[in-house]
Structure 1
Amino acid sequence: MTKADFLKMVQEKIVLLDGATGSNMQKNGMPTGVCPEKWILDNPQVLIDLQKGYVEAGTDILYAPTFTSSRIKLEEYGLAEDIEDMNRGLVKLSKKAVAEADIPAERKVYIAADLTMTGRQLYPIGDLKFEELVDVYKEQIAYILMEGVDLFVIETMMSLQECRAAVLAVKETCDLPVMVTLTFNDNNRTLYGTDPVTAVTVLQNMGVDAVGVNCSTGPEKMCEVVAAMKAYATVPIIAKPNAGLPVLKDNETVFSMGPEEFAKKAAKLVEAGASIVGGCCGTTIKHIKLLEKAVATYKPHVLSSRKKRILTTERRSLKLDIDGRFMILGERINPTGKKALQEELKADCLNMVVDMAKEQEENGADILDVNMGMNGIDEKEMMVKVVNELTAVTELPLSIDSSHISVIEAALRIYPGRALINSISLEKGKMEKLLPVAKKYGAMFILLPLSEKGLPKDLNEKKEIINTIVKAATDIGLSKEDIVVDGLVNTVGANKAAALETMETIRYCKEELELATVVGLSNISFGLPERQYINSTFLAFAIQAGLTMAIANPSQDLLMNTAFASDLLKGKEDADLRYINRVTSRPTVTVGKAVPTAKGTLSDLSGAREINLEGTDLLVFDSVVKGNKRNILQYVKQSLEEGREPSFILDNLLIPGINKVGQLFDKQIYFLPQLISSAEAMKIAIEHLEPLLKKGDKEKKLATVVIATVSGDVHDIGKNLVVLMLKNYGFHVIDLGKDVPSEKIIETAMSENADIIALSALMTTTMLEMKQVIALKKESGLKAKIIIGGAVITQSYADEIGADGFAADAGETVTLVKRLLNL
């Protein structure tokens, strides 16, 4: 199947996917705790009959059951060496099902190889490096291709970065179409905090052929995600919901939505914007058959050909509107002329880089430019380290700035969002090599109107260069919305018309070419005194001419206030409030100064002002809140040297810090990566303090918690986060791991005199084990409270099986445990 074939199919009809595999295998005898793919291969007729039924019900794209057949997942069952035979065998079964289905000979049914998450966390949160993950997917893909499939689907994804790794693996291995679906929580974000707009923006710009959502919820709630994606999509949207929520009935996990109700409500997903629909957990052949009838009269959606100008992190999108508010591209993270930064980078230290990022974010930057060009370091290696570090500490998108193509590509490859390339010109070899890189990784780029001859001799030549690069970009499939033109500012001291020529460039790009624009401000005033006045006045003129953004230092108040005032005078939306907030929140100075971080002058995000901290106390507290793993140990030691007792640091700085993190998480200001970073920072501090605590302080451990992922379930991302949080709150946590027999959980709880038993399950096929643990606890006479959680678990399920509590996330778990124990 070619990409053109795929596009033709979705333009002709609403495309129907299949339904659930796992829940139907379980109904047909698959026990918990086994490798599903191995069980399918041992019981092939069960799958063949199910998939024949889906095809006969109207399925156009059938998922081969290669879902968790990567080396990492198979290792959990001791089956890694069987990876080739298993993937090839599973594809063969789906082909056999299609061949045996009773359908007209002319009807074409396509087979999609199925990839999903590995369960391992990527660096810098975990220890799995990005390139290792790409190779894991490539290995599985290579074996699948030996049997031949029509396309790939990457599904049930929680991490956008893992989506990117799988997409690159497919695209670097074959030319087949690829679809990607993520799973979203009730807050319409993935476990890692990615929202629907960010997901569709990143993936469609990487060349994915369809994007959407699967599993997650029933069809009604999923409509919100589909509609959000459709508003920004240039590719078809996929919706594959569950048959409602799982409930317990006669000691069996069942889904609440029957085929008729499912079909009726799933059709609403097409109205919301989906062109490709199917069913996930709990759906059966009848669900799909009725869904086919329900969507038969709908016409496919016309795809938008106009992309949006958007940069993203992994969790946030930034829309660049040529008629919208003015934006600042922070220029500080560049070692040129900064001796202190150069020395730190040579020492492999990133403290100043992180401080510069946070300072610029606090001062109003919208994007951070990152340049590591200097002697004495490996620029590519350092750029990769810096990108990894910054994606963990800032929510601002990055602009990758380097003279070397290899450095730019290395950074784009591991950046978990949509970045900006600074820059692409007509200098020898740059455009031809960098435009394909921009397309491959879905990046936007700054168009720098230089050629091999250097600066353009006049305005006409500048326009010619701009048009040449724009045409080359659109010829390879990029669009005008991917381009930001640099106005190429010259110094007015040498060329009196420099500012006027820049204004004309901005006007030409915006009004005639509909392109976004950017300028570097400092060149205009080079060689002149009191440069800040020239720069700020020039900026006001440029904004009036239609400038989209400027490369500048956001700590320069005169410059920033001029920008905010210019938006106000141009009548930009919300410009009045932004101007008032800006000028009333900080005193105006003409020369930028670093914002001190040790005297209570941090942003209100940390909450430091609420508890009136300063000096080293503030630094310790703020290190927890902001996940400063690099410096927290230094600050804790400094606090001890200043006379603070270990118990004071724990009770008055660390615990309040992690409490603040929990509040930010609850408010959806923080997401999983920030939560983990803060918890790990606190862990470093506690490990140093624990030997120093007095006996009485050590005995202040709150309670003992035994925690486990239940038998048959090998997922532990959420469970591990709960362990980390509980330990950092002072609880004595015994982590039994994943796939733990119910008897072992109870035995451990008895021997350790546990106060709480915490159970996790991610799969509907294993959630019944929780009821078994509760039954064994009652038989044993244990007084421990049992709490449960996991992606498929709800409060109603907890009530139904007699659990003492349900928690939706790690922060909520801490609150629940404290409440149950009256702490």
Structure 2
Amino acid sequence: MTKEEFWGLSNNRILFLDGATGTNLMKAGMPAGVCPENWILEHQDVMINLQSNYAKAGADIIYAPTFTGNRIKLADYGLGDRIEEINSSLVKLTKKAAPGVLVAGDITMTGRQLRPIGDLDFEELVDVYKQQIKILEAAGCDILVVETMMSLQECRAALIAAKEVTDLAVMVTLTFEADGRTLYGSDAASSAITLEALGACAIGANCSTGPDKMAAIISDMAAVTSIPIIAKPNAGLPSVDENGNTEYDMDCDTFVKEMELLVSAGASIIGGCCGTTPDYIKGLKDRYGNVKPNDIRDGEGNPVPRKICGRRYLASERMSLSFGLDENFMIVGERINPTGKKKLQEQLREGNLDMVCDFAANQEKEGASILDINVGMSGIDEKEMMLKVMEEVMSITDLPLCIDTSSAEVMEAALRLYPGRALMNSISLEKGKAEKFLPLAKKYGAMFILLPLAEALPKDSQEKIDNINTIYEMATKLGMNKEDIVVDGLVATVGADPNAAINTLDTIGYCHENSYATICGLSNISFGLPQRSNVNTAFLTMAIARGLTMAIANPSQEMLVNAAFASDLLRKKEGADVRYITRMERYADQNSANSAAQNVSSSKAVLENDNILDIIKKDVLTGNKRGIVKDTEKAVKEGNSPRQILDEILMPAINEVGDLFDKGKYFLPQLIAGAEAMKLSIGYLEPLLKEGADSGEKLPSIVIATVHGDIHDIGKNLVALMLKNYGFNVIDLGKDVPREEIIKAARKYDAKIIALSALMTTTMKEMKNVVDLAHAENLDAKIIIGGAVVTQDYADEIGADGYSSDAADAVRVVKNILGIE
């Protein structure tokens, strides 16, 4: 079934998905720790019974039980060489159990983390998904579903893999934390924008929570997309009964009633995840079977807000940008470009990205909405450098990026790895450029800048308009529209052509009248003239009056940017008055701060010496793994003691990183980057601390493990890293660890704390087995638990001594239990 065929089906009525698989198999006798796919093949009657009941309940789509059927997951069970047999057999089993029902090949995360957080290369992950997708399609799947995803980038890898090997429609659902973001920090809107642009046939959320707490996520997705929205929540919150079985607190009737919140929020494809059964799906079908997507209303009886026609959307991994044609003017920061910047060129050739990082941070601070990335210059590998610069910039800012290169190879490499919806700069009619670049925009879902330039410079605005129309027609043939395009007004030099400004303004006016967003670079207009900023500023205000949407400029040019803000104010754009006043207040505060700083000291050397410890703190806060060892070495050489650096700089810095993570201002990538930067600094200081007998009191040992039956270790690894950075002796036993080994290790190392992790509801009850065994053997160690499905209530139920919600919280819980300040 193609995407278009899927939409033909889903546009007419609400579609119903199946319910839980794992929790029902556990009830049917599947033990923890086995490979679910292999167990199903050994107990086919159990699966056939479950899936046939889902079909009888009214499910339109049933997921084949291939959830962990990729080669990385299967290899954890020693079954990697059976990937084709296992996946094919499971698809055929589902088709046998539910004839006439659509079968979705089920795909999920591999358990290994992508670079730079983990060791998995993006292209290797794409290849892993390609392998499984080919097998699923050959076995007869009707569609594909990528589900229970915590990483937007891994969703992209699966979608790209599907695009390159099949025409099957692909549904994608992510799982979100309580703060409305994935474990990696992606919000619902950014995820939806990115995945729709990349080609998903439907997007949504599964697992995560009960329906009552999923409504905001579904609403946020529906508001920025035009494709169907999926909701597949759990049956409430999990708990463990007196027999050690996992139960959920939302019965069928309550679940069905609460699902109205999700339907009213915009979900038109619904089902159930953990804790749901065929009865839950029958309840959904009975209650919502006659509801049509176009008839869905919110709680006040109004049509559900969906993507607004005419709005444009860009996204990074953790932030979205939405804009129309008559809203506040935006700046695309131009500073990360080596042209005319000798020092930046030198640093890039040396592999030094300090200036790049400074430019990124400062441009965001000065009000840029998008950052342009251009590394085209001699003496470097442009593709390699583009990817390095993108990675570095994305660690500093969440602003969407504009990829600026004349090389199709570099552009594709950048778009392939960019975990959002980027802006491409640019596509013209020069030397077949449109033929090379337009397919890239379509494949990777990028918005692009249309440069109305052919082999020769256009003579006037009419020739520009002709070029615009030509490229637009080429784009529409590929399935793109005006909302995917930002037209460059193509500024020429007024000193050489007196009509340059008029032609550009006329082009901008034409585009605005014909519903094109517009952009221009400003510097060309004043080339060769004195006091160029005056000309640039005057031209910008005239262009804004004609409908200019954004400009590529240096946001630090105060007169230029202030004039743009004032132009919005004078044109009565929404919120422009507050925006202008706020900028002027910040500008005044900045001037006062600058004057104060100049009065304190005029010696650059003194400032640098005074600030080396602050620089190290900033290294931790920004996750600067490139420079922290060099900065730590410098601090020691300047006479700062290793103990002082550790106690007064590194520890407070990592505490601040944890606080920012708790407040939702930092996300998993920043938390890991900060911890790893600190680890590098400690690695340099450790020998010095030992030499000086300055190591302080030794902290207790902690044994940490993912419980038996669970092969996930993302959260566990991060907790171990954070605890090590705080000086604890951490013994990491790995994943899928039997309770006997955990207790044995705790005795061997005289551990004061045992830290247990579980990601799945099917394995969380193993935590209780560890607690019970520890109590039975009178072990002194305190036990703390954590993981995506774990709660404080669950910790209380099983008699654990503590619960941590995340890695930063784990440190506080441990210190509190041990009475360490």
Q: TM-score, normalised by structure 1?
A: 0.94
CA-CA distance at 1:152 after TM superposition: 0.4
CA offsets 1:229-284 (integer angstroms, 9 cap, x no match): 11111100001111111111122111111122212212332222111111111111
Q: Distance in 1 between matches of 2:219 and 2:609?
A: 45
Would the aligned equivalents of 1:557 and 1:588 in 2 still touch at CA under 8 Å? no
AA in 1 matched with 2:219: A
Q: Distance in 2 between matches of 1:181 and 1:614?
A: 50
> What's the counterpart of residue 246 of structure 2?
253
SS for the counterpart of 1:445 is strand
AA in 2 matched with 1:391: M
> What's the counterpart of residue 605 of structure 1?
none
Would the aligned equivalents of 1:275 and 1:301 in 2 still touch at CA under 8 Å? no
Structure 1 residues 268 and 183, CA, compared in 2 at 3 Å: closer, same or farther? Answer: same
CA-CA distance at 1:475 after TM superposition: 2.6
Alignment partner of 1:672 out of 657, 668, 673: 668
Q: Distance in 2 between matches of 1:39 and 1:160?
A: 30
Structure 1 range deviating more: 726-735 or 670-679: 726-735
Would the aligned equivalents of 1:209 and 1:236 in 2 still touch at CA under 8 Å? yes
> What's the counterpart of residue 102 of structure 1?
none
Alignment map for 1:88-487 (pairs within 5 Å): 88-99=88-99, 108-250=100-242, 251-301=244-294, 306=309, 308-452=311-455, 454-487=456-489
Structure 1 residues 243 and 569, CA, compared in 2 at 3 Å: closer, same or farther? Answer: same
Please state if 1:796 is matched with 2:793. Answer: yes
Q: Distance in 1 between matches of 2:5 and 2:489?
A: 41
CA offsets 1:790-812 (integer angstroms, 9 cap, x no match): 11111111111111121111111
Q: Distance in 1 between matches of 2:805 and 2:693?
A: 33
CA-CA distance at 1:433 after TM superposition: 2.2
Structure 1 residues 600 and 254, CA, compared in 2 at 3 Å: closer, same or farther? Answer: farther
CA-CA distance at 1:586 after TM superposition: 4.1
RMSD: 2.1
Alignment partner of 2:626 out of 626, 630, 638: 630
SS for the counterpart of 2:335 is strand
Alignment map for 1:654-669 (pairs within 5 Å): 654-669=650-665
Would the aligned equivalents of 1:483 and 1:515 in 2 still touch at CA under 8 Å? yes
> What's the counterpart of residue 498 of structure 1?
500
Structure 1 residues 518 and 773, CA, compared in 2 at 3 Å: closer, same or farther? Answer: same
CA offsets 1:54-104 (integer angstroms, 9 cap, x no match): 0111111111111111011011111101111111111111111123xxxxx
Alignment map for 1:553-702 (pairs within 5 Å): 553-586=554-587, 614-694=610-690, 697-702=694-699
> What's the counterpart of residue 530 of structure 2?
529
AA in 1 matched with 2:668: L
CA offsets 1:700-738 (integer angstroms, 9 cap, x no match): 343322111111111110111111111112222111111
> What's the counterpart of residue 33 of structure 2?
33
Structure 1 residues 569 and 558, CA, compared in 2 at 3 Å: closer, same or farther? Answer: same
For structure 2, the 5+ residue unaligned runs are 296-305, 603-607
> What's the counterpart of residue 544 of structure 2?
543
Structure 1 residues 304 and 542, CA, compared in 2 at 3 Å: closer, same or farther? Answer: closer
CA-CA distance at 1:696 after TM superposition: 5.4
AA in 1 matched with 2:35: C
Would the aligned equivalents of 1:234 and 1:306 in 2 still touch at CA under 8 Å? no
CA offsets 1:613-636 (integer angstroms, 9 cap, x no match): 951111111000111110001110
Would the aligned equivalents of 1:626 and 1:674 in 2 still touch at CA under 8 Å? yes
Would the aligned equivalents of 1:112 and 1:150 in 2 still touch at CA under 8 Å? yes
Taking only the aligned residue pairs, the percentage that are identical comes to 58
Q: Distance in 2 between matches of 1:415 and 1:479?
A: 22
CA-CA distance at 1:338 after TM superposition: 2.0
AA in 2 matched with 1:279: G
SS for the counterpart of 1:766 is coil
Q: Distance in 2 between matches of 1:34 and 1:574?
A: 58
Q: Distance in 1 between matches of 2:801 and 2:609?
A: 38
SS for the counterpart of 2:11 is helix
Would the aligned equivalents of 1:232 and 1:307 in 2 still touch at CA under 8 Å? no
Q: Distance in 1 between matches of 2:578 and 2:601?
A: 25
CA offsets 1:102-124 (integer angstroms, 9 cap, x no match): xxxxxx41111000000111111
CA-CA distance at 1:553 after TM superposition: 1.3
CA-CA distance at 1:413 after TM superposition: 0.3
Q: Distance in 1 between matches of 2:681 and 2:124?
A: 31
Would the aligned equivalents of 2:616 and 2:628 in 1 still touch at CA under 8 Å? yes
Would the aligned equivalents of 1:273 and 1:301 in 2 still touch at CA under 8 Å? no
Structure 1 range deviating more: 677-686 or 764-773: 764-773
SS for the counterpart of 1:529 is coil
CA offsets 1:150-185 (integer angstroms, 9 cap, x no match): 110000000000000000111110101110000011
Structure 1 range deviating more: 109-118 or 724-733: 724-733
Q: Distance in 1 between matches of 2:234 and 2:738?
A: 28
SS for the counterpart of 1:426 is coil
> What's the counterpart of residue 606 of structure 1?
none
CA-CA distance at 1:145 after TM superposition: 2.2
Q: Distance in 1 between matches of 2:83 and 2:294?
A: 39
Please state if 1:772 is matched with 2:769. Answer: yes
CA offsets 1:623-678 (integer angstroms, 9 cap, x no match): 00111110001110000010000000011111111111111111111101011111
CA offsets 1:195-228 (integer angstroms, 9 cap, x no match): 1110110011111100010000111111111111
SS for the counterpart of 1:517 is strand
SS for the counterpart of 1:451 is coil
CA offsets 1:5-52 (integer angstroms, 9 cap, x no match): 211111221101111111111111100000000100111111011101
CA-CA distance at 1:587 after TM superposition: 6.2
Q: Distance in 2 between matches of 1:614 and 1:487?
A: 48
Q: Distance in 1 between matches of 2:609 and 2:785?
A: 37
SS for the counterpart of 2:178 is coil
Would the aligned equivalents of 1:556 and 1:589 in 2 still touch at CA under 8 Å? no
SS for the counterpart of 2:452 is strand
Structure 1 range deviating more: 632-641 or 546-555: 546-555
Structure 1 range deviating more: 700-709 or 22-31: 700-709
Q: Distance in 1 between matches of 2:388 and 2:31?
A: 45
CA-CA distance at 1:559 after TM superposition: 1.8
> What's the counterpart of residue 12 of structure 2?
12
Q: Distance in 2 between matches of 1:307 and 1:585?
A: 33
Q: Distance in 1 between matches of 2:561 and 2:429?
A: 32
Q: Distance in 2 between matches of 1:518 and 1:395?
A: 21
Structure 1 range deviating more: 476-485 or 558-567: 558-567
CA-CA distance at 1:301 after TM superposition: 3.3
SS for the counterpart of 1:450 is coil
SS for the counterpart of 1:208 is coil
Q: Distance in 1 between matches of 2:293 and 2:589?
A: 55
Would the aligned equivalents of 2:718 and 2:807 in 1 still touch at CA under 8 Å? yes
Structure 1 residues 644 and 586, CA, compared in 2 at 3 Å: closer, same or farther? Answer: farther
SS for the counterpart of 1:153 is strand
CA-CA distance at 1:588 after TM superposition: 10
> What's the counterpart of residue 516 of structure 2?
515
Would the aligned equivalents of 1:14 and 1:276 in 2 still touch at CA under 8 Å? yes
CA-CA distance at 1:393 after TM superposition: 2.3
CA offsets 1:319-348 (integer angstroms, 9 cap, x no match): 223222211111111122222222222233
Would the aligned equivalents of 1:234 and 1:307 in 2 still touch at CA under 8 Å? no
CA offsets 1:486-533 (integer angstroms, 9 cap, x no match): 1111112122232222222222211x2111111101011100011112
Structure 1 range deviating more: 61-70 or 808-817: 808-817
